[in-house]
């Protein structure tokens, strides 16, 4: 269901007018496949008399997806578009060590865009080396949403109201 809603919202947001019927057919097809898979897992769970398949296959999708989305959306939300300066179009946000590990240290997303060949486990070291050249990272998810959400709302009416990053001179 989350995939269906996200996909439909993406189509509406991007104002895809040509081929909407085809796009909605593809979305509906994937939704049906996902439902068949989930019902198969539930049927198998009843067949073997254990809830473990449900716990290990279906439950993580509904627990993990909102957390993943909350962290993942911080990468470019309300950032300037059509710029070659990654410092203006990508953010870094500090998160707790558990989420950091699960997220492959991609809270150092700006550093990742600037140096994509650096392994994720070395992004923190890279940040220390180039810290003076980069804007200050957001200190937490709360800090990110508190500062960026007003820009998201403003972008609905004016495309020049993106979040303005403060660069170190």
Higher per-residue confidence, 18 vs 118: 118
Tell me, yes or no, whether 130 and 149 share the same domain: yes
Question: What is the value of pTM for the model shown?
Answer: 0.70
Tell me, yes or no, whether 92 and 37 share the same domain: no
For 87-136, the pLDDT digits (tens) are 999 999 999 999 898 888 889 999 999 999 999 999 999 999 999 999 99
> What residues make up the domain containing 6?
1-49
Number of structural domains found in the chain: 2
DSSP letter, residue 108 = -
Across the chain, mean pLDDT equals 83
Residue 111 token pair: 């550093």
Contacts of 136 (CB under 8 A, 6+ apart): 166, 168
Tell me, yes or no, whether 149 and 96 share the same domain: yes
């Amino acid at each position: 269901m989350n995939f269906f809603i996200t996909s439909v919202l993406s189509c509406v947001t991007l104002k895809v007018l040509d081929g909407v019927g085809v796009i909605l057919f593809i979305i509906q097809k994937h939704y049906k496949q996902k439902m068949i898979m989930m019902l198969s897992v539930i049927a198998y769970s009843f067949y073997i008399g254990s809830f473990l398949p449900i716990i290990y296959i279906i439950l993580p999708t509904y627990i993990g997806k909102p957390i993943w989305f909350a962290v993942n959306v911080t990468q470019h939300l309300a950032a300037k578009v059509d710029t070659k300066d990654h410092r203006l179009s990508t953010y870094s946000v500090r998160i707790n060590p558990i989420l950091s590990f699960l997220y492959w240290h991609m809270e150092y997303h700006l550093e990742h865009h600037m140096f994509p060949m650096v392994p994720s486990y070395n992004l923190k070291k890279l940040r220390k080396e180039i810290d003076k050249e980069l804007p200050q990272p957001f200190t937490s998810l709360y800090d990110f949403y508190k500062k960026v959400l007003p820009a998201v709302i403003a972008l609905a009416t004016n495309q020049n109201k993106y979040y303005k990053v403060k660069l170190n001179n």
